[in-house]
């Protein structure tokens, strides 16, 4: 005899079974959708936090987070401290001005002097690897004939004539210097020598990298940067010659001290040469300068490292061969505006043979 309940309500029984099946089938998908939604939310939150941290570290410039100490102005050199961005400067110069602002602070227990103490460990590496015999002797003669055998008094007379010329130029008057060009730039050079950039382990920490990136703005300030740009722009016909004369005079430190109160040890030239050839901060400065200035600075950086190798200082262990080959190619292809192009190439060809 059939069951009375099933007989009375067969439709109700069948409907109940279908509802239970539908419920069992639909519950897992809802659970999976919810799980996937939660994971997406967590990933989005994590990505947002990461981006926020990176943005905070690199773009935040409030006094509580980013602080580079303002340059010491005890020498009397005029140092710009304005935080107004000059539209005439390029974008990277504007970023450096922000980093170099007196209101911007980086706090870090590790100081550049601690890192510079490792320079002594770097020196001497390249000197041992130099080609011996005739090639090295030839290179030594190149440096001596080009630079060290000049009459120092004649060099001083030429530099002083250039300073006198600058003092008579209207564009120099517009900068409002309170002293002669000779006095002002002598103080400026000594300040740069006394505060060299970090040239080893530059990328070990953010503090060192930021200080190198804004090195010249921190040491001499925006006003002096603009003065130097003005000189480079207005004295294009003579700046290569003056730079060569001044480099020759570094072989006569007694005359530099007597005439300009400048003390430039060989290590200072080596440090700045390594800065331009082998650090992110130095390369960044060169690649946004005009090609003529960049090639000239690279040339003197190379011969300064070679000079350090000859004198046994090691040149921070820098391999000069890639820099020499690169500069030769750049001068040959784009050095048409260089006044001393042939002299640069003659020296570089000899150095290429030496370091090959």
Residue 201, pLDDT > 90, answer no
pLDDT, position 331: 97
Band (pLDDT 50/70/90 cuts) for residue 266 is confident
**What are 36-50's pLDDT values in tens digits?**
555 656 656 665 555
Give CA separation, 283 vs 24, 107, 223, 268, 297, in Å: 67, 25, 22, 18, 11
pLDDT, position 319: 92
Window from 50-54, 102-106, 247-251 with minimum mean pLDDT: 102-106
Give CA separation, 15 vs 9, 10, 27, in Å: 10, 9, 18
* Mean pLDDT of the region 79-96: 43
Burial class (CB in 10 A: 0-12, 13-18, 19+), 174: exposed
Q: Which of 102-106, 122-126, 210-214, 303-307 has the highest mean pLDDT?
A: 303-307
For the whole model, what pTM was predicted?
0.65
**What are 234-257's pLDDT values in tens digits?**
998 999 999 999 999 999 999 999
Residue 4, pLDDT > 60, answer no
Non-local CB neighbours of 328 within 8 Å, separated by 6+ positions: 345, 348, 349, 352
pLDDT, position 170: 96
| Residue burial 299-322, b: 16+ Cβ < 10 Å; e: rest | bbbbbbbbbbbbeebbbbbbebee
Q: What is the mean pLDDT of the chain?
A: 74
Higher local confidence (pLDDT), 330 or 13 = 330
């Amino acid at each position: 005899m059939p069951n009375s309940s099933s007989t009375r309500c067969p439709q109700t029984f069948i409907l109940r079974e279908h509802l239970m099946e539908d419920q069992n089938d639909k519950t897992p998908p809802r659970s999976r959708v919810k799980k996937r939604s939660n994971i997406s939310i967590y990933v989005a939150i994590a990505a947002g936090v990461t981006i926020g941290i990176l943005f905070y570290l690199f773009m935040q410039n409030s006094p509580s987070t980013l602080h580079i100490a303002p340059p010491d102005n005890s020498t009397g050199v005029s140092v710009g401290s304005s935080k107004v961005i000059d539209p005439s400067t390029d974008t990277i110069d504007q970023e450096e001005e922000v980093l170099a602002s007196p209101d911007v602070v980086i706090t870090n227990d590790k100081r550049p002097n601690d890192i510079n103490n490792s320079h002594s460990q770097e020196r001497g590496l390249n000197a041992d690897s130099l080609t011996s015999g005739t090639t090295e002797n030839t290179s030594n003669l190149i440096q001596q004939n080009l630079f060290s055998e000049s009459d120092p008094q004649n060099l001083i007379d030429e530099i002083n004539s250039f300073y006198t010329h600058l003092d008579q130029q209207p564009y120099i008057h517009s900068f409002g210097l309170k002293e002669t060009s000779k006095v002002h730039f002598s103080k400026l050079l000594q300040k740069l020598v006394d505060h060299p950039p970090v040239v080893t382990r530059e990328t070990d920490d953010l503090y060192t990298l930021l200080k190198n990136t804004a090195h010249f703005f921190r040491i001499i300030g925006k006003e002096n940067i603009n003065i130097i740009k003005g000189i480079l722009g207005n004295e294009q016909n003579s700046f290569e010659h003056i730079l060569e004369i001044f480099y020759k005079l570094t072989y006569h430190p007694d005359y530099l001290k007597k005439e300009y109160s400048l003390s430039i040890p060989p290590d200072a030239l080596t440090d700045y040469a390594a800065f331009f050839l082998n650090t992110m901060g130095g390369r960044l400065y060169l690649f946004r300068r005009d090609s003529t200035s960049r090639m000239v600075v690279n040339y003197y950086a190379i011969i300064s490292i070679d000079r350090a190798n000859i004198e046994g200082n090691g040149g921070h262990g820098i391999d000069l061969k890639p820099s020499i080959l690169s500069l030769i190619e750049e001068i040959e292809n784009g050095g048409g505006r260089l006044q001393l192009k042939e002299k640069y190439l003659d020296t570089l060809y000899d150095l290429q043979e030496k370091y090959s």
